[in-house]
Amino acid sequence: MDIRLSGRSALVCGASKGIGAASARALAGLGARVVALARSADALREVVAELPGEGHQALVADLSQGDALAAALEPVLAAHGPLHILVNNCGGPKGGPIVEAREEEFLAAMQNHLLAAVRLSRLLLPGMREAGYGRIINIISTSVKVPIPNLGVSNTTRAAVANWAKTLSREVAADGVTVNNVLPGFTRTERLLTLMAGAAKRLGQTPAETEAAWMRSVPAGRFARPAEVAAGVAFLASPAASYINGINLPVDGGRTGCL
Ligand SMILES: NC(=O)c1ccc[n+]([C@@H]2O[C@H](COP(=O)([O-])OP(=O)(O)OC[C@H]3O[C@@H](n4cnc5c(N)ncnc54)[C@H](OP(=O)(O)O)[C@@H]3O)[C@@H](O)[C@H]2O)c1
């Protein structure tokens, strides 16, 4: 099975920590040259410095600023040539009851997740098509299968991304480009710790009680390590996944209760 990514370049968004940083490590581990994007310059440089292999680069940019994002990417494309792999990933929207979510929260989430992915894909697709090799992988959520209570803005935005991705996958398939979604379950990152702290407060529990309750909902009996989610990303990015297109891949320890 061919999972090597030598000679391939990847843009990984939200790569300063969590699932994005782990994805950068997994792709670099298979031989890809990685451009790691996020807002925090120092954290990003630390991630890039520790990536295996050579030619990696930090790109400090904000996914919410579409025009500035495109401008920041221009010199990278000029220097690197085509970026064959795009991992669309950004910090998750704030939780809370959907009736209380403000319109600005929906707009911000759509900007960071849907519109950033749309913009980056448009910029990278010509190079992918020319190379006859492209992999667009969106980190979204199991909420596209079963909406998660108290994450209404996220649920709404992920559904939009999943439908955009499915539509795009059919338009670019004949050019050697695939578009797939990875749906993480509970994964031990800052995002999860923030959500657990919020839930504990709301329910009048200790953080340890909330953690134990959440773990009981996972058949595997534990949370994922970011590297386990990144393994799904890396496989979908590889030559071996060439005929897998337009899918949602849950990486959730069996938690999602539907097919
Ligand atoms: N962890 C879980 O259990 C879980 C479960 C299901 C779904 N997910 C989803 O998976 C995605 C990744 O989760 P995670 O747990 O790895 O999150 P995380 O630890 O909060 O990391 C988020 C990453 O996104 C970057 N980021 C945030 N806003 C950005 C912006 N405007 N522009 C550029 N980069 C930005 C952050 O870096 P900077 O702050 O440096 O910009 C960071 O690198 C999220 O969408 C999350 O909702 C996570």
Q: List, for residues 60-97, the tens digit of each pLDDT value.
A: 999 999 999 999 999 999 998 999 999 999 999 999 99
What's residue 45's pLDDT? 97
Of 46, 63, 167, 159, the closest CA to residue 120 belongs to 63
Q: Do 80 and 35 touch, CB atoms closer than 8 A?
A: yes
Mutate to test the pocket of ligand 1, among 11, 12, 19 (most ligand atoms within 8 A of CB): 19
Asked if 85 and 137 touch (Cβ cutoff 8 Å), the reply is: yes
Listed in sequence order, the residues at least 6 apart from 218 whose beta carbon sits closer than 8 Å to its beta carbon are 185, 186, 252, 253, 254, 255
What pLDDT is stored for residue 210 in this prediction? 96
Q: What is the DSSP string of 108-160?
A: HHIIIIIIHHHHHHHHHHHHHHHHT-EEEEEE--GGGTSPPTTBHHHHHHHHH
Q: Which atom of ligand 1 is nearest to the CA of 21?
A: 43
Give, to the nearest 10 degrees, the angle between helix 116-131 and helix 66-80. Answer: 20
Task: Give me 236's structure tokens.
Answer: 């979908």
pLDDT at 80 (0 to 100): 84
Calculate how far, in angstroms, residue 139's C-alpha sits from the geometric centre of ligand 1. 9
Amino acid at 18: G
Mean pLDDT, consecutive 10-residue stretches, the chain (259 aa), reads 98 98 98 98 98 97 97 94 97 95 98 98 98 98 97 98 98 98 97 93 94 97 98 98 98 97
Tokens of 183: 């749906």
Burial of 36 (0-12, 13-18, 19+ CB in 10 A): buried
Pocket lining for ligand 1, CB < 6 angstroms: 14-20, 38-40, 43, 62-64, 89-92, 112, 139, 141, 184, 186-187, 189-192
Instruction: Please name each of the domains of the chain with its CATH number.
Output: 9-185+226-247 (3.40.50.720), 187-223 (no CATH)
If we measure between CA atoms, which residue out of 165, 163, 113, 158 comes closest to residue 136? 165
Q: What are phi and psi of 180, to 5 degrees?
A: -135, 160
How many angstroms does the Cα of residue 221 sit away from the middle of ligand 1?
23
The residue whose CA has the least distance to atom 23 of ligand 1 is 14
For residues 157 and 60, what is the distance between their CA atoms, to the nearest angstrom? 24
CA of 80 to the centre of ligand 1 (A): 25
- Bridge partner list, 182: 139, 249
38 backbone dihedrals φ, ψ, rounded to 5°: -170, -175
Residue with tokens 């529990």: 205
Predicted TM-score of the model (pTM): 0.98
Going from the Cα of 1 to the center of ligand 1, the distance in angstroms, rounded, reads 31
Chain-centroid distance, C-alpha 48: 17
